[in-house]
Amino acid sequence: MDREMDGEVEGKTNSEHSGSAFEFSRVGRRGKWLLYLRIAFSLSLFVWVLILGYKEGMFSKLHSSHVTVILMCVVIYCFLQALSAFNWWVIALATGVRIRFIDALIAFFVGMFFNLFLPGVVGGDIIRAYIASKRSCNLPLSSVIGTVYAQRSTGFVALVALGCVAAVWLGKAVKEFVIKTLLVFFMLLVVASSFIAVLLIWRNSKSRWKQRLARFSEGAVLFLAQPWYAIVVFVIAIMYHLCLDAMLYWLGSSVGMKGSYPLYVAMVSSLTAISSIPIAIHGLGVREITAAHLWALTGVGTESAILWSLLWRLITWLAALPGGLIYLGLVASGLKEEILKV
């Protein structure tokens, strides 16, 4: 009897995974034209940024010593991503997703690789959640996706808080731009999170989609019901952004950009928020152009600002490459077809 029930539960779970993959693939087919337009727009914008940087003498600022700085920043960034994966793992544990940290780390880096190099309508977050759900007793995909949202939203709250605090020490023009930009994005996050929390009322619904949305909501907000987990999560998110800002401060100093640490905190917060607008793939070109205009308010040259932003992007790309190697290992283990469906 127990075996029959286990088989029934497993069958339902696998059916949900298959159904989810099928429905996501249908969304992908309908959105292909939009994806192609975004790719074309992103590449065109990025090429224009490179041309602009070249005309401004950007490449003349590069020296052989920058290779060492970039490689060290890549190592630091990998450790920071591991810290972010740990934060996601803590959220998952608080919401009942039982997964080993090593599995969470694997899923995180593979998702990061898909986000940066194999963009789609759904993105690497779904891939991350899918791998994690397969390695946590086949938990419903919707629940695990909720934990991904929770990890991203807590990180964004820390980003906004640090950016607004740092802006207090800046000049009037930069301060007004930074605070207004961050507050707009913060209000959007509050509205979205409030709507997601309301979805909890569908936990006992008979509709399959309403049940999935309710499970997503649980994964996104349930950790807040446990104060110690919530405190740990927000502390880690703040530590992550402070360390990232310190790394980018060092990178900026290496290319001759003068500015205080609070200035970098405010700039990184604003640029991260603006580049999250889904008009280009991973903010390709958008962040570089915004960086040039925003840094110009502080007297930094266009060539330095674009170079700094491009090196930041290069570091991100290089740090994501381990995710590709891990994915090749997953292909060998038989997950290839399932991941490709998603």
Please name which of 131, 284, 157, 163 lies closest in space to residue 221, comparing C-alpha atoms: 157
Q: What is the mean pLDDT of residues 158-176?
A: 80
In order, the DSSP letters of 308-330 are: HHHHHHHHHHHHHHHHHHHHHHH
What is the DSSP code (8-state) at residue 99?
A: -
Q: Which residues contact 270 (CB under 8 A, 6 or more apart)?
A: 163, 177, 178, 181, 182, 290, 294
At 152 the pLDDT is 86
Domain ranges of the chain: 2-56+63-341
172 exposure class (CB count in 10 Å sphere: 0-12, 13-18, 19+)? exposed
* 262 neighbors 241 (Cβ within 8 angstroms): no
Is 212 a residue whose pLDDT tops 70? no
For residue 262, the Cα-to-chain-centroid distance in whole angstroms is 23
Task: Tell me how far apart the alpha carbons of residues 135 and 215 are, in angstroms, rounded to a whole number.
Answer: 18
Task: Tell me how far apart the alpha carbons of residues 323 and 105 are, in angstroms, rounded to a whole number.
Answer: 10
Is 180 a residue whose pLDDT tops 80? no
Which pTM was predicted? 0.80
pLDDT band for 310, please (50, 70, 90 cuts). Answer: very high
Task: Tell me how far apart the alpha carbons of residues 46 and 55 are, in angstroms, rounded to a whole number.
Answer: 14
pLDDT band for 14, please (50, 70, 90 cuts). Answer: very low
At 109 the pLDDT is 93
Share of the chain above pLDDT 70, in %: 74
Q: What is the pLDDT of residues 290-299, one digit of tens each?
A: 898 888 888 8
Q: What is the pLDDT of residues 221-256, one digit of tens each?
A: 677 778 888 899 999 999 999 999 999 999 999 888
At 219 the pLDDT is 59
CA dihedral 157, 163, 168, 172 (to 10 degrees): -120
Please name which of 338, 324, 340, 310 lies closest in space to residue 115, comparing C-alpha atoms: 324
Q: What is the pLDDT of residues 252-291, one digit of tens each?
A: 998 888 888 988 998 999 898 888 877 777 888 889 998 9
Q: What is the pLDDT of residues 54-112, one digit of tens each?
A: 887 777 777 766 788 999 999 999 999 999 999 999 988 888 888 889 989 999 999 89
* 156 neighbors 185 (Cβ within 8 angstroms): yes
pLDDT band for 336, please (50, 70, 90 cuts). Answer: low
Please name which of 109, 240, 90 lies closest in space to residue 150, comparing C-alpha atoms: 90
For residue 243, give the amino acid letter.
Answer: C
* 123 neighbors 195 (Cβ within 8 angstroms): no
Q: What is the mean pLDDT of residues 173-200?
A: 70
Task: Tell me how far apart the alpha carbons of residues 334 and 177 are, in angstroms, rounded to a whole number.
Answer: 49
pLDDT band for 30, please (50, 70, 90 cuts). Answer: low
**Residue 97 — left, alpha, or beta (φ > 0 → left; ψ -120 to 50 → alpha)?**
beta
3-state secondary structure 258-291: CCCHHHHHHHHHHHHHHHCCCCCHHHCCHHHHHH
3-state secondary structure 78-89: HHHHHHHHHHHH
Is 4 a residue whose pLDDT tops 60? no
Please name which of 104, 55, 47 lies closest in space to residue 81, comparing C-alpha atoms: 104
Task: Tell me how far apart the alpha carbons of residues 225 and 101 are, in angstroms, rounded to a whole number.
Answer: 22
At 230 the pLDDT is 86
